């Protein structure tokens, strides 16, 4: 395994970790689990809810993909690949903006 592959995996892990941290923070502050249903409830917290959903979505999609992997492997695999892609992009953003890694 070369260095580039390790960096890609590290970037995906950073994105998934950020999703888990934001989802856990939301759950500890509000007492509800984050999910896409947060976008359907209008309130003055809508912008914060949208940020929580965008940041925690890779983990939500990853867990949904693992649940569907046994019954519908094509859909489960697609969800897992989508989650890894989203986590990668989120990890690249975090590593560039906060840690200056390019």
Domain limits, the chain:
3-99
Q: How far apart are CA 93 and CA 102, in angstroms?
A: 10
CA 83 to mean position of chain CA atoms = 7
Instruction: Specify the pTM.
Output: 0.85
Q: What is the pLDDT of residue 35?
A: 81
Task: Tell me the percentage of the chain whose pLDDT exceeds 70.
Answer: 99
Q: What is the mean pLDDT of the chain?
A: 90
| pLDDT score for 89 | 95
pLDDT for 42: 83
Name the stretches of the chain with pLDDT < 70.
Answer: 102
So what's the pLDDT on residue 102?
Answer: 66
Tokens of 21: 């941290």
- The Cα 34–Cα 42 span in angstroms is 15
């Amino acid at each position: 395994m070369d260095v580039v592959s390790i960096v890609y995996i590290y970037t995906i892990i950073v994105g998934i970790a950020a999703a888990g941290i934001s989802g856990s923070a939301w759950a500890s502050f509000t007492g509800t689990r984050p999910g896409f249903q947060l976008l359907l409830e209008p309130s003055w917290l809508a912008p914060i809810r949208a940020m929580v959903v965008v940041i925690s979505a890779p983990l939500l999609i990853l867990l949904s993909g693992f649940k569907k992997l046994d019954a519908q492997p094509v859909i489960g695999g697609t969800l897992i690949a989508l989650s890894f892609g989203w986590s990668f992009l989120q990890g690249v953003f975090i590593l560039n903006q906060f840690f200056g890694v390019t």
